[in-house]
Chains A and B, each alone.
Chain A
């Protein structure tokens, strides 16, 4: 089972390596990871995607909570959270496929951020599912390069999430 876990941590040197070390030291997987300071500059928020059965996810969240620099851990449930990721993708675009790339970009509301006679570079944001669907449509046209932020996640509703 895939889980998207948000971790609020002290914005200090070495904290990320404590979090990552916990995963590598215990053989847990990280599928993706993103980290940046929050509205409170003393805090950073890590969003990571991991997988495992219920027992493993429980261990992961407990172990994260145990780290001194970790202030809060939330294992988001899909129905109560909004998840987005951004991808930049470079696609081959010559002659007959040039129009097709633009059509796909339009359907997924992706932006063209760079263009050459042989390629388009697109920027797309959305749920991992939507972004994934776009990538699959572009793949047969010649995917040259793909870079993704991995998902970030925020809870639904009016309540903000602070330390």
Chain B
């Protein structure tokens, strides 16, 4: 039977296991939306802005591990998706974004609502496709999903002209996919892995440095097993938080610019750094020349371009992190008793690290009545479900969440790490909630970032998405203010959000519940009440206005040059 392109697209989504999509209709996707009207197998959620739609699909993908799907119309709809796509690209999130396009005969004619979205998204997608013939549509969709989820994952754009949605053809979904220029290396080289394990076993001061790749590659269990077996301390990047339980004694927490004193000291003093699914971002390394100066570096990553991009690497292993970790564990098992000896040999190293932990633990000064933002984060952890999902926005609250929440499971922190996109948190939480209707989902944001996508309160209420919104309100764009305080002589240029917004009324205007705490002894009450109400709740915490995120490694300085909390 012949189907039109719009229907074929939906059939492809169904065959890829897609059950939820986020999209915004418009002139060039109206045919697609007409098919969707009677297509009941897919839940469609209408955001209030295409950027938020893409962030929602991104949050859905981060939380569930499935490919997130978003739809936008041509022209402005498509250009509105760019920030969302770039966010997903920087954090390697598997997504397929479908954009409408003007009819093929009009492409290049400056038609109404035309934008060269293939050209525009080329540098911020893993790949993109313009569908010129309906006969190619099914194959392109198969390739799009395959590319998005394999190797180093990433967003793929499929640009679908209006006439291709209308044109009909016989539908057959390909069972296999063959792309001769795309063969990601999955299996790590056995000899390299053997060499790496041998080197690791000989190290006196090893540290494991984990990035988002371990979460994307679903390799947390293997990571935990290896670290515990050998007794090697683990530090994670922002994207790696949750891959290793922070309540474990081997956990060093976050490293880098706002990392813990002990993680940065451990990395700076180690003789063996095992980087797994991480890419040596400048926020992690600080000054490259003095990063891990005494260490031999083993780097495991699925993307060969990540290896030796920023730092020298002694033992590169290209491959799927889980495959590599499984093989490492097997070798360790074969060695058997010697592995125990290896762990015991690290006693003096762990004692040295414990010394750093004792000297400068993660701490902040508690106040008598004003609310410290770090305190709110700690209370949120204490009063939320153990498997709660936390989305963050970008800025100070994001770093406090990373420092003080204490993540213990993968895919429970959703945060824009690479691009650092303000406005990400609320829609990402919305997407995660759509993926896990029965789990507690909260977004922790600042007053600035919240306002960047606060229109999504409408989507949340309309779709009965049970999202708990936590606003740490300091009436500042806090992270920029902090930099201005430290490096620009307190000249707070355009960082004070002078208009006091009544967030409670705002929540109520959208049909959500609004709660507020202004004193420290109200914090627990608001959190408990917020979590107990079924449905969307906005909890506003008026926090200490000029609190800083510490420790801090100034941009370009070495990891050992930390500004510490007094």
The answer to whether A and B belong to the same complex is yes
Selected from B118, B119, B181, the residue in CB contact (under 8 A) with A69 is B181
Residues of B within 8 A of A18 (CB): 122
Q: Does A96 contact B (CB under 8 A)?
A: no
Q: How large is the interface on A (under 10, 10 to 19, 20 to 34, 35 or more residues)?
A: 20 to 34
Give Cα A62–Cα B308 distance, bound, in whole angstroms: 11
Residues of B within 8 A of A122 (CB): none
Given contacts A10-B181, A68-B182, contact A21 B304 (CB under 8 A): no
Q: Does A58 contact B (CB under 8 A)?
A: yes
Q: Does A71 contact B (CB under 8 A)?
A: yes
When the two chains form their complex, are residues A59 and B305 in contact, meaning their CB atoms are under 8 A apart? yes
Selected from B122, B123, B127, B308, the residue in CB contact (under 8 A) with A55 is B308
When the two chains form their complex, are residues A66 and B122 in contact, meaning their CB atoms are under 8 A apart? no
Binary CB contact string for chain B from 115 to 130 against chain A (1 if under 8 A, 0 otherwise):
0001100110011001
Q: Does B147 contact A (CB under 8 A)?
A: yes
When the two chains form their complex, are residues A63 and B123 in contact, meaning their CB atoms are under 8 A apart? no
Give Cα A104–Cα B100 distance, bound, in whole angstroms: 60
When the two chains form their complex, are residues A21 and B303 in contact, meaning their CB atoms are under 8 A apart? no
**Which of B127, B147, B181, B309 gathers the greatest number of chain A CB atoms within 10 Å?**
B181
Residues of B within 8 A of A66 (CB): 303-305
Residues of B within 8 A of A65 (CB): 304
Residues of A within 8 A of B182 (CB): 68
Report the minimum CB–CB distance from A54 to chain B (whole Å): 10
When the two chains form their complex, are residues A62 and B181 in contact, meaning their CB atoms are under 8 A apart? no
Given contacts A17-B122, A21-B122, contact A68 B179 (CB under 8 A): yes
Give Cα A52–Cα B208 distance, bound, in whole angstroms: 32
When the two chains form their complex, are residues B304 and A71 in contact, meaning their CB atoms are under 8 A apart? no
Number of A-B residue pairs, CB cutoff 8 Å, is: 35
When the two chains form their complex, are residues B119 and A67 in contact, meaning their CB atoms are under 8 A apart? no
Docked complex: B405-428 residues within 8 A CB-CB of A:
none
Given contacts A17-B122, A18-B122, A68-B127, contact A9 B305 (CB under 8 A): no
When the two chains form their complex, are residues B304 and A25 in contact, meaning their CB atoms are under 8 A apart? no
Q: Does A157 contact B (CB under 8 A)?
A: no
Report the minimum CB–CB distance from B128 to chain A (whole Å): 8
Binary CB contact string for chain A from 63 to 78 against chain B (1 if under 8 A, 0 otherwise):
1011111110000000
Give Cα A17–Cα B147 distance, bound, in whole angstroms: 20
Q: Does B359 contact A (CB under 8 A)?
A: no
Chain A interface helix/strand/loop/mixed: helix
Q: Does B180 contact A (CB under 8 A)?
A: yes
Q: Which partner residue on chain A sits nearest B305 by CB separation?
A: A62
Binary CB contact string for chain B from 81 to 123 against chain A (1 if under 8 A, 0 otherwise):
0000000000000000000000000000000000000110011
Residues of A within 8 A of B179 (CB): 68
Residues of B within 8 A of A58 (CB): 308
Docked complex: B266-315 residues within 8 A CB-CB of A:
303-305, 308-309
Q: Which partner residue on chain B sits nearest A26 by CB separation?
A: B123
Give Cα A23–Cα B122 distance, bound, in whole angstroms: 13
Given contacts A14-B118, A21-B123, A163-B180, contact A68 B305 (CB under 8 A): no
Residues of A within 8 A of B123 (CB): 21, 25
Give Cα A58–Cα B304 distance, bound, in whole angstroms: 10
When the two chains form their complex, are residues B122 and A9 in contact, meaning their CB atoms are under 8 A apart? no
Report the minimum CB–CB distance from B228 to chain A (whole Å): 34
When the two chains form their complex, are residues A59 and B147 in contact, meaning their CB atoms are under 8 A apart? no
Docked complex: A54-108 residues within 8 A CB-CB of B:
55, 58-59, 62-63, 65-71
Given contacts A9-B181, A66-B305, A68-B182, contact A17 B127 (CB under 8 A): no
Give Cα A59–Cα B305 distance, bound, in whole angstroms: 6
Residues of B within 8 A of A9 (CB): 181
Docked complex: A14-72 residues within 8 A CB-CB of B:
14, 17-18, 21, 25, 55, 58-59, 62-63, 65-71
Give Cα A66–Cα B127 distance, bound, in whole angstroms: 10
Binary CB contact string for chain A from 125 to 163 against chain B (1 if under 8 A, 0 otherwise):
000000000000000000000000000000000000001
Report the minimum CB–CB distance from B185 to chain A (whole Å): 11
Give Cα A63–Cα B127 distance, bound, in whole angstroms: 13
Report the minimum CB–CB distance from A58 to chain B (whole Å): 7
Give Cα A25–Cα B123 distance, bound, in whole angstroms: 8
Residues of B within 8 A of A68 (CB): 126-127, 147, 179, 181-182
Report the minimum CB–CB distance from A59 to chain B (whole Å): 6
Binary CB contact string for chain B from 151 to 182 against chain A (1 if under 8 A, 0 otherwise):
00000000000000000000000000001111
Report the minimum CB–CB distance from A63 to chain B (whole Å): 5
Residues of A within 8 A of B305 (CB): 59, 62-63, 66
Give Cα A68–Cα B179 distance, bound, in whole angstroms: 8
Given contacts A21-B122, A25-B123, contact A71 B308 (CB under 8 A): no
Give Cα A93–Cα B130 distance, bound, in whole angstroms: 52
Residues of B within 8 A of A71 (CB): 180-181
Q: Which partner residue on chain B sits nearest A42 by CB separation?
A: B180
Report the minimum CB–CB distance from B427 to chain A (whole Å): 27
When the two chains form their complex, are residues B181 and A59 in contact, meaning their CB atoms are under 8 A apart? no
Give Cα A25–Cα B119 distance, bound, in whole angstroms: 13
Residues of B within 8 A of A70 (CB): 181
Selected from B126, B180, B304, the residue in CB contact (under 8 A) with A62 is B304
30 residue pairs of the A-B complex, CB under 8 angstroms, read: A9-B181, A10-B181, A14-B118, A14-B122, A14-B130, A17-B122, A18-B122, A21-B122, A25-B123, A55-B308, A58-B308, A59-B305, A59-B309, A62-B304, A62-B305, A65-B304, A66-B303, A66-B304, A66-B305, A68-B126, A68-B127, A68-B147, A68-B179, A68-B181, A68-B182, A69-B181, A70-B181, A71-B180, A71-B181, A163-B180
Known: A21-B123, A68-B181. 8 other contacts (CB 8 A): A21-B122, A55-B308, A58-B308, A62-B304, A62-B305, A69-B181, A71-B180, A71-B181
Could you list which residues of chain B lie within 8 angstroms of chain A, going by C-beta atoms?
118-119, 122-123, 126-127, 130, 147, 179-182, 303-305, 308-309
Could you list which residues of chain A lie within 8 angstroms of chain B, going by C-beta atoms?
9-10, 14, 17-18, 21, 25, 55, 58-59, 62-63, 65-71, 163
Sorted from nearest, which 7 A-B pairs have the closest CB atoms? A62-B305, A71-B181, A68-B127, A68-B182, A62-B304, A25-B123, A70-B181
